[in-house]
A and B are shown apart, each in its own frame.
Chain A
Amino acid sequence: MSAPEPRLFGARVPRVEDDRLLKGQGRFVADLDFAGSLYAKFVRSDESSSDIFDFDVGKALACEKVRAVFTGDDFAGAEIRCVSAYEGFQTSSQPILATDRTRFAGEAVAMVVAEDEYAAEDAAEDVFFSVLPLEPVAGLDDALGDGREPVHAGWTGHAFVRRSMATGGFERVAGSAAHRVTIELRNARHGAIPMEGRACVARYDRGSGLFELWTTTQIPHLIRAGLADALGVAESRIRVISPDVGGGFGVKAQLYPEEVACCLAARELDRPVKWVEDRREHFFASHHSREHRHQVTGYFDDDGVLTALEADIAVDMGAYSVFPWTSTMDCGMAMGILPGPYRVQEYSVTGTAYCTNKAPYGAYRGVARPAACFSIERLIDRIAKHRGIDRAEVRRRNLIGPGDYPWHSPSGLVYDSGSLPESLDKVLEASGYDRLLADQALARAEGRLFGIGLAVFTEQTAHTTREFQQRGVPIVFGYETAKVRLDATGTAVVSASIHDHGQGLETTLAQIAADRLGLRLEDIRVEYGDTDQVAYGAGTFASRSAVLAGGAVVKAADAVGDTLRQVAAHRLEASPADIVIGQNRLSVSGSPGAFIETAELCRLVYQRPESLPRGVEPILEASRTYDADPGTGVYTNAAHLASVEVDPLTGKTIVLSYAIVEDCGPMINPTIVEGQIFGGVAQGIGTALFEEFVYDDEARLLTSTFSDYLIPTMTDIPDFAVDHLETPSPHTIGGLKGMGEGGAIAPGAAIASAIEDALSPVGDAVVAELPLTPERVLALLNRAQQQGDQR
C-alpha cells in the first residue's frame, strides 16, 4: 500500500487564516459580547511585599452600576499550586486575590464587577485597605544574601530548588586543562509582550453546573485541568475555549488567577463576567521571563578546544510557582542545554531557581535557551580571543560534526541529528561575510565602530514524555491529539489539541491533511482551541505543534484513509492494498479508468449505508495521538550573523544586517518557517538591545508603559538574509523538527558578539550583560578605552 504523493508538503502556500485575520474577521476574546455580561476590574497592589488589612469596600459597592466587590477572603477556597517532584522543592500557593499579604507589585487584591468597564474602573478607586510595606526580597542580590525573610512562610532560604550535576571525568579534565576563562553573564527580566494582552469571559450555567471559560490561552486543556483543581470541580463540568489569540509566545501558557476569579464571580453572580487586561496590568502581572545570571568557566587546550565546562545558574522566578510548569523550568532548561552545539564532554553545573518579590515567571519563546546561548557563545568568543583564533574557526573546531550523531550531551540530552558546521559555513555565505569584512575595514579606517558577531545553537524541540517525566512536572506533556472527520461532501475537518496564535498551523496542518487524504487545501478546515473538540492534549509551546499535531494528523488521516480504501475497494472490486488516494479520488493502481470521486464515496458512506461492505461502520472519523520518539526532543540547529555600528558619542547600536541559516528538517511551508524566524529574531533584537523590566529597591516596577519599556519597532529591525538546510530527524513522522522558538534564541549572543567586535579596535571589553542599552554600551566603550590605554 503506497502512501499518497505529497503535493502540498513543502509548498509556499499562503496562510489560509490570513484572509480572515487581515480583514478584521477574526474573533478574539475581547470581541465576545454575551448578553448580560458584567465587567471586572482588578485592584492591584502598588507594593511588592506588604501586609494588607482593614478592607473597606462599602463605597465601591455603593457606586452606580457596581454589582459586586470581591476580596481575598471571598475566594479563599481556591488557589494556584504547582509542585515539582524535584527533591527539596519548596512550594508556594498563589491566592486568587491576596488575602493578608502581597508578594509582588501588581498582585490583585480585590475585584470589582460592574455593568461596564468604566463603572468598574471608577469603583476600583474606591476600594480601600491599609498597607504595611515589608522588606522585600527585591531581586537576585537579596536572594543570594541572607539578610531577608523568605517570601513564603515556613521556607528555608530563598530557593524553590537547587540542583547540581557533574560528569564523572569533570574534575580530572578541568584540573589538567591548559587554559581556563570565567565570565559572568546577566540577562535582564523581560517578557513576550504580545500585541493582544490577556482576556477572559467566564459563564456559568446553573442548570447544568457547567463552567465555560473563553480565554486567551495557548493551552486550553491544561487550563481546564488547572481550573478543575482550583475550583474543585470535575473536568466534565468545564469547557475552555480559546478563540483567535493575538500572539502568545509563552506568556499565555500559564493559568492565571484572573481566570479563576472570573469563573468564581460568574457562578456567584449568575452572569457572564468579562475581563480584558490593560497594558499596564500586562506589565505588572502577566508573567515575566528571561532573568538569568550565569557564571561559566570554560577549560580548553592550546587549539581552543573546549574540554570541560562549569556553570552556576541563578534564575529569578518571582513570587510563585506557576501552573503547569512549576518554577523549575527555566533553570532546568538552562542546565540541560548550556553545552549547546559543542562537543564538550565534561560538565559540572549548579542551578538555582530563586523566589523573590517580583511578578511570577512563566514561559517565553526560547525558555532559557537565549540565556544559555548567550553564555556559551560569549564563552566561545572569549576562548577565540584568548587563543588568538578566528571566531568562526574556533567554532568549527568545537562544533558537533555530522559523524557524531546521536550525540549524548554531558547533561544527558540526546541530539538526534543536525548540520552545525554546515550551517556556520552557510551563514557566512548568506550574510555576504567577505563584503562585510571589507565594509568593516573601510569603517575602521574612518574611525567608525563597526562589528560583526556570530552565534550558533542547537535547540531542543518537540520534547515529549521522557523529557517532561524527568523534569518533575505534575502533568507530563507527552503527546498531541488530532481528530480527522470527513463529511458527506468529501471535505474534512481537522480538530487538534494544539492552538494557533500566529504559527500558521491552520495552514500547515491543512497541508498535511490534504496530502494524506488526497484532497485540496480548501477542502480542509482546521479547528482548535476548544476542549470539547478533542479528547486531550497539551497545547502550543516548546516548538512542538507542527511535529506532534502534524504527526497526529498523519495518523488520524491515514486511519480515515484506510476506511476509504476499504469502501472504495468494495465498490471498485479491487483489493484495498491497490487503492491509491489522490486528486480528490480513489483509484485502482494501474487502472486509471477505475476510480471513484472522494466526495461520492463519502456520500455513500454516510447516506447510502447499504452500499458499505460488511463490518464497516458509516463513520469517516478517527482520533489519534502522537508522542514523538524518543521523547527527549529532536534538535533543530541554526547559525546567526549580525553586523552593527555603535555611535561612539552615545553608545547607541544600530543593527545593520542580520543573516540566519536554520535547519529544522523538512519544511512543511518555507514561507511560514521564515515568518517564524523573522518574528523570533525581532523579539531577540528586543532582548539584545531594548527590553528590561526595571524594579526599584523595594521591588516596585518602574517600567509600566511603552515609553519606558521599549520593544523594537520597524526601524530597529534590518532586512534579514535567510537560508535553510533540511536534515530530517530519524525519529519523527516526516522527519519534522520544531522551529517556532529558534529565531529568538541567538540574537542576544550574536549582537553582543558584534558589539564586542565593534569596540575591539579601541580595546577589549567583555560584553556580558543584556540588554545592551546605549548607556551600557558607552560604559563598555569606556572600559575598552581604559584597557586599550594600558596596552
Chain B
Amino acid sequence: MKPPKFRYHAPSSLDEALDLLATYGDDAVVLSGGQSLIPMLNLRLARPAEVVDIARIDGLGYVEAGECSVSVGALVTHRKMETDPEVARLLPMAREAAGLIGFRAIRNRGTVGGSVAHADPSAEWPAVLLALDGSVEMRSSSGVRQVDASDFFKSVFTTARRPDEIVSSVRFGSRFAGNWGFSEFQRRTGDFAVVVAAVACADSSDRSGETRVALAGVADRPVRCAEAEAALADASDPRAAAEAARDAFDPAGDAHGSTAYRKQLVYAQVLRAATQALTRRAGRRPDG
C-alpha cells in the first residue's frame, strides 16, 4: 500500500494549475481533498506520473447565491456545506446530504469539486446535483464551459471532463429547493451509501408539477427516474413512485447486497425521500 512514484506539483494559482494540466494531459491528475485519490494511489488503482495539488489555489472556496441557483467553488469542503448558514437556508437538501458523507475527518478535507470530478456512482453530490438541476463548470487554459449535471456524469469514475480541465465550481438550482426529500441507506454511519434517493418538486401552486427523483447506487452513474417522477407528479403518491423506481433498475449486487435487495432499498429510499418532499410541500415537517 505504497503508491508508485509520481511527481508532485503545488501550483499557487489556477492559471499555473491549468498550464500544468495542459502540459501533462493524461499523465496528470488533480489532487483536491485527497479522500478518494490518496487511497487509490496507495492501492495502486491510480498510477499518475504527475500529481497537481490544487489545495493552495485561492478563490475556489466560495458559496455564492444567485437568483435561482447557488454556485459552490470546487474547493468547498463537505464540512462547509454541512455548516454554512447560507447553504442551510438556500439548499437544505445539500446540507442534509453533506452531513451523511463519510466521517467528520473526511468531510473536513473532502471537497465538492473532488466528489463531482471523481463521479463515484453512489456518492451524494452527483445525485443532489441531478435532483436540483445542477451543472458543473470546468476551466482549461483554453477557456470555460458549463455542462449540465445530466450530461456530465458518464459512467463509473468517468465524466465529461477532459484531462486538461479542472472542475472549478458547481451550480445547484434553488428553484424547488424548499420541497425536498433526501434518504440514503448506509450499513454504518459514515459509510458510502448503498442507495441514495434525492427528491425535489415544484410548489403545489406551480402548475408544471415538475418533479425530480434522482438516485445514486443503482447504475454506473447517478440517474433520474422518469417513472417515479411521473408517479409523483400525477398522483403525489410516494408508494407508487417507490414501486416505479424499484422496477426501473437492476443494480448490480456486491458484498453489501444482491440485486433483489438493492431494489428493495430503492423502494425504501424513494418512499422515504418522496414522503418527506410531499410533507414539506404541504408546509409540514417530516418525522424523524
Contacts and interface: CB of A to CB of B under 8 A. Distances in A.
Interface string B37-70: 0000001100000000000000000000000000
Contacts of B185: 650, 652, 774
A652 B257 CA distance: 12
Contacts of B272: 649
B5 A650 contact: no
A278 B185 CA distance: 30
A690 B187 contact: yes
Given A702-B255, A708-B256, A716-B188, A280 B271 contact: no
Interface string B229-255: 000000000000000000000000011
Interface residues on A, range: 20 to 34
A125 B4 CA distance: 10
A179 interface: no
B264 A650 contact: yes
Interface string A696-722: 000000110101101011011000000
Contacts of A122: 4-5
A708 B255 contact: yes
Nearest to A704: B43
B228 interface: no
A778 interface: yes
Interface string B176-200: 0000000001011111100000000
B2 A121 contact: yes
A715 B255 contact: no
Nearest to B257: A775
A694 interface: yes
Interface in B96-142: none
A129 interface: no
Given A707-B192, A710-B187, A650 B265 contact: yes
A265 B272 CA distance: 59
Interface string A495-507: 0000000000000
Given A649-B267, A708-B255, A280 B188 contact: no
A774 B268 CA distance: 13
Interface of A, secondary structure class, is loop
B127 to A, nearest CB: 18
B157 interface: no
A117 interface: yes
A703 B268 CA distance: 26
A713 B192 contact: no
Contacts of B188: 690, 710, 712-713, 715-716
Contacts of A716: 188-189
Contacts of B264: 649-650, 778
B8 interface: no
Contacts of A652: 185, 187
Nearest to B261: A775
A387 interface: no
A774 B5 contact: no
Contacts of A117: 2
Interface string A358-391: 0000000000000000000000000000000000
Nearest to B4: A122
A637 to B, nearest CB: 31
A715 B271 CA distance: 25
A716 B188 CA distance: 7
Nearest to B268: A649
A731 interface: no
Interface string A627-664: 00000000000000000000101101000000000000
Contacts of B268: 647, 649-650
A280 B257 contact: no
A715 B102 CA distance: 13
A715 B191 contact: no
A34 interface: no
A690 B44 CA distance: 27
Contact of B258 (A647, A715, A775): A775
B177 to A, nearest CB: 26
Interface string A758-785: 0000000000000001110010000000
A778 B261 contact: yes
A570 interface: no
A650 B263 CA distance: 10
Contacts of B43: 280, 705
A53 interface: no
Contacts of A278: 1
Candidate in B43, B255, B267 with the most chain A CB atoms within 10 angstroms: B255
B115 to A, nearest CB: 16
Contacts of A778: 261, 264
B1 A707 contact: no
Chain B CB within 10 A, most for which of A122, A280, A647, A649: A649
A155 interface: no
A775 B261 CA distance: 6
A117 B187 CA distance: 34
Contacts of A774: 185, 187, 257, 261
Contacts of B187: 652, 690, 710, 773-774
Nearest to B260: A775
A118 B265 contact: no
Nearest to A281: B1
Most chain A CB inside 10 Å of its own CB: which residue of B192, B256, B258, B272: B256
Interface string B196-228: 000000000000000000000000000000000
B109 to A, nearest CB: 17
B251 to A, nearest CB: 13
Contacts of B271: 649
Contacts of A705: 43
A279 interface: yes
B190 A715 contact: yes
A514 to B, nearest CB: 41
A703 B43 CA distance: 14
Nearest to B185: A650
Contacts of B191: 707, 710
A280 B255 CA distance: 16
B194 to A, nearest CB: 9
B67 to A, nearest CB: 39
B31 to A, nearest CB: 18
Contacts of A775: 257-258, 261
A694 B267 contact: no
A524 B189 CA distance: 43
Given A649-B267, A652-B185, A694-B255, A713 B1 contact: no
B190 A713 contact: yes
Contacts of A715: 188-190
A616 B232 CA distance: 95
A117 B3 CA distance: 10
A99 B30 CA distance: 43
Contacts of B254: 708
A279 B192 CA distance: 19
A319 to B, nearest CB: 22
B103 to A, nearest CB: 8
A760 to B, nearest CB: 21
Contacts of A692: 255
Contacts of A702: 255
A702 B189 CA distance: 22
Contact of A703 (B5, B192, B255, B257): B255
A774 B44 CA distance: 32
Given A121-B2, A775-B261, A778-B264, A713 B189 contact: yes
13 contacts: A118-B2, A122-B4, A278-B1, A647-B268, A649-B267, A690-B188, A694-B255, A710-B187, A712-B188, A713-B190, A716-B189, A774-B187, A775-B258
Given A117-B2, A118-B3, A121-B2, 7 more contacts: A121-B1, A278-B1, A650-B185, A690-B188, A702-B255, A710-B187, A774-B187
Interface of A: 117-118, 121-122, 125, 278-280, 647, 649-650, 652, 690, 692, 694, 702-703, 705, 707-708, 710, 712-713, 715-716, 773-775, 778
Complex A-B, nearest 7 residue pairs according to Cβ-Cβ distance, in ascending order: A649-B268, A715-B189, A278-B1, A775-B261, A708-B255, A121-B2, A118-B2
